[in-house]
Structure 1
Amino acid sequence: MTVLAITNNSHAGIASSFSPSSVAAARSRMVGPDILRSLAILLVMLVHLPLNATPGIFVNVREYGWLGVDIFFVLSGYLIATQLFKEATRTDTVDFKSFYLRRAFRIFPAFFVVLGLYILVPVLRDNPAMQPVWKFATFTVNLGFDPRDGNAFSQAWTLAVEEQFYLVLPLLVLLLYKRIGTVWVLGLAGTLTLAGILLRYAIWDMQVGTLVEAGEFRAAFATYLRGVYYPTYTRLDGLLFGAVLAAARFFKPELCRQYLPPKVTIPLGLIFLITALLCFMDRGPLAGQGIFPVFQAQLGAVLGFPLISVGIALLFCAMLDLEHVIARWPVPGVALVATLSYSLYLTHKSVFHVMRLIVGEGNLQGNVGFVVYLIASLAVAAVLWFCVERTFLHLRDRLLPSSR
């Protein structure tokens, strides 16, 4: 996923919605976005946690841990778009070279270190088989991704979605930020959302639904993941609504204050989220088939993702407005988890796997297993952050002093 930190003085970049430059910067970071970032990575980790090491209180939450991905997408879309809007307004252009170099320094070092370990030390793989290395290296692993052909390091699909999106976003910002108004932005967002809905419906109807009707649920699940869940062109909702929120707050702050105050965005965001979850609860013929919970019936697959993204964007908008309130009661550990979130994202599945090999899965049950997995994951992530992430962020800041 992508990584940026929001500080009280500036919006930093999110090469994945996952982490900032240093723990020392944590005090100047905004608490609300860090809470969402921490929640997102913990949900992602929870959905990958072995069920026998999931405390009972989290078992039902685990079924919807994949929501962490959508939170990351909204955060990432908002933060990167805000960064680009600031630059375009200040300089009347976008420095493509600087933008992509900043992202490369943020994303590539830790990612390629972990990818290299997956390639060179197969015992670290959370699954024996992997997608082709070139797909990871080119950030196209999410396209045509069939988990039956190899599932190791599968979380990288979300990073691929973001990297592909950000190949296009700077150009769109440069071309459109002076040329279209509020109505056109909303119309474009609505058109892209509707196109995603229709595309997911068509893919389900022509590919997934046929297999479901034939009772081939496992094949239907894999087809759903490959055709609906993983591809960039079906998962743009979170990034899109994050960018729309950024445009609204950056270019039309007075309208946001007037029409989107917290007393509106909080209940409205909750309504969208609850409606989306109700859509995903309708599993239709899949009920009782033992299919992984992310594989829901058509209603959720088609409508759920945009509803979730709008809901998250509205709640995020409220958190930004209420930062002065939220900051008074900081949640212990949030800044640490947010700082380590990108490294956690890259390593947690491998850590879970290695811990099973070292300790034995039978000794990692219930609350004990949960705590051991959590501590081990944080420890490995801290090493990766300290040795790789922080080093290259410092190097980036020396080479590109204007980057944040």
Structure 2
Amino acid sequence: MERKPGLDLLRAIAILWVMPFHSYIAGYMGGGVMRWSGWMGVDLFFALSGFLIGSQVFNALISRGGVDFVDFYLRRGFRTLPAYFVVLGIYVTWPSMREVQGMMPLWQFLTYTLNVFIDPSRVAFSHAWSLCVEEQFYLLFPLLALFLVGGGRVRRGAIAIAALVLGGVVLRAWLWIHFVQPVQSNGDEAGDAYLRFLYYPTYARLDDLLGGVALAAACCYRTRGWAWIERHANVVSLTGVALTGSCMWGFNGQQRFDLTANVFGYPLLAVAMTALVAGAASGRGVLAHLRVPGAAWFAAASYSLYLTHKMVYGQLHGRFAPWVEGHGVWTVLIYAVTVLAVGATLHYVVEQPFLQWREPVRKMWAQRQQRYTVEPTS
């Protein structure tokens, strides 16, 4: 898919939104809109992923009638695994580099099941939970897409998406009533229950991915809905901004002990994120063509920045606090520069080389496929 500056801008916003949220690791529990709403940046990442991966799969179904699963997983593997394994290796073999000492077992990181069996008291590298959601999505979505919309059966896919969203609403309500509400008077226990049942698990975070997938289907199959988005791209973008602001006001701090916010807040936030992606993906809106200096770099390096930023916070706060903290804007600059330096190092030393090696491997696979393809006889 052709790179669009609007989508790069949203990815840059997502990572710059997430990182201040984790500043509590460095002792900064203070306010500010970026601090208490930064967890929503992950939802923006999910909506973007749903749209981009959905577009890739749907375009393959339209052009070839199927999905080359080996090629798909080669692309995803070279993109996500090398940097992840490098950072995971540091966390496992060098415990003093962790932002906190307690860490979940290695097998949960290797199997991408961290978010399913999370222990909120062992949170080193816990931000990998969102990578688990992504990897589970990569694993299952192409198969589901082939079954649901193969042959152009878009309506079946739309029904499945609607059913999953509705099922998520019902499931979150049931989990909140049976597992969070009973311990609501105990702050720590209730917080742990909320994280285990309503924040980390994939079933609770499908709304953004589904929104992105629905948008990708509308775009790739050129539906009337997509035509409407193209005509009203700026209205869609402004709607996304307004809904995001509403969520930041009414869904801030994750509202751990509010049934309505947890049941309906996530779908509303998904609509907001999907609207932003729609405005950026269309060809006619202002957001789609908005070029902000540096946004493309942050978009490209966002994965490495995400993987490493909590480790950097922990090291600066735990080892160098007397030298770097308490200096106002200089403290902020030291943290920011260090996070960027470490993230850039991982991006250029690990991510980029593997992305360059990916294309020759994909080409070898394509040539092998052609070699074993039987040409029809006349």
Decide whether aligned partners of structure 1 residues 323 and 374 sit closer, same or farther in structure 2, where only a CA change above 3 A counts. farther
The offset of 1:296, in angstroms, is 4.7
Q: How does 1:170-249 map to 2 (within 5 A)?
A: 170-179=142-151, 181-212=153-184, 215-249=185-219
The offset of 1:105, in angstroms, is 0.9
The residue matched to 2:251 in structure 1 has which SS?
helix
Aligned residue pairs: how many? Answer: 363
Counterpart position of 2:47: 74
Counterpart position of 1:40: 14
The residue matched to 2:291 in structure 1 has which SS?
coil
Contact 2:98 2:125 in 1 (8 A): yes
The residue matched to 1:147 in structure 2 has which SS?
coil
Counterpart position of 1:276: 247
Q: State the distance in 2 between where 1:202 and 1:267 align.
A: 33
User: Please, which runs of 5 or more residues in structure 2 have no aligned partner?
Assistant: 366-378
Structure 2 length-normalised TM: 0.89
Counterpart position of 1:386: 348
Contact 1:53 1:370 in 2 (8 A): no
Decide whether aligned partners of structure 1 residues 361 and 75 sit closer, same or farther in structure 2, where only a CA change above 3 A counts. farther
The offset of 1:259, in angstroms, is 5.5
The offset of 1:295, in angstroms, is 2.7
Contact 1:63 1:294 in 2 (8 A): no
Decide whether aligned partners of structure 1 residues 294 and 342 sit closer, same or farther in structure 2, where only a CA change above 3 A counts. farther
Decide whether aligned partners of structure 1 residues 88 and 327 sit closer, same or farther in structure 2, where only a CA change above 3 A counts. closer
The offset of 1:153, in angstroms, is 0.3
The offset of 1:172, in angstroms, is 1.4
Q: Which amino acid aligns with 2:280?
A: M
Counterpart position of 2:78: 105
Q: Which amino acid aligns with 1:346?
A: L
Counterpart position of 1:17: none
Counterpart position of 2:309: 348
Q: Does 1:375 align with 2:337?
A: yes
Q: How does 1:331-346 map to 2 (within 5 A)?
A: 331-346=292-307
Q: Does 1:166 align with 2:128?
A: no
Q: Which of the residues 131, 135, 140 maps onto 2:104?
A: 131
Q: Which of the residues 88, 109, 120 maps onto 1:147?
A: 120
The offset of 1:331, in angstroms, is 1.5
> Which structure: greater helix fraction?
2
The offset of 1:175, in angstroms, is 1.6
Q: Which amino acid aligns with 1:175?
A: F
Q: State the distance in 2 between where 1:52 and 1:125 align.
A: 13
Counterpart position of 2:372: none
User: Please, which runs of 5 or more residues in structure 1 have no aligned partner?
Assistant: 1-9, 12-28, 282-291
The offset of 1:321, in angstroms, is 2.2
Decide whether aligned partners of structure 1 residues 91 and 327 sit closer, same or farther in structure 2, where only a CA change above 3 A counts. closer
Q: Which amino acid aligns with 1:41?
A: I
Moved more, 81-90 or 179-188: 179-188
The offset of 1:184, in angstroms, is 3.4
The residue matched to 1:330 in structure 2 has which SS?
coil
Q: State the distance in 2 between where 1:318 and 1:63 align.
A: 25
Counterpart position of 1:16: none
Contact 2:236 2:276 in 1 (8 A): yes
Contact 2:279 2:287 in 1 (8 A): no
Query: Percent identity, aligned pairs only?
Result: 38
Q: Which amino acid aligns with 1:393?
A: L
Contact 2:154 2:217 in 1 (8 A): no
Q: State the distance in 1 between where 2:94 and 2:172 align.
A: 37
Q: State the distance in 2 between where 1:278 and 1:373 align.
A: 28
Q: Which amino acid aligns with 1:336?
A: W
Q: Which amino acid aligns with 1:94?
A: V
The offset of 1:53, in angstroms, is 7.3
Q: Does 1:310 align with 2:271?
A: yes
Q: State the distance in 1 between where 2:217 and 2:364 align.
A: 22
Q: State the distance in 1 between where 2:117 and 2:289 align.
A: 46
CA RMSD, Structure 1 to Structure 2 (Å): 2.4
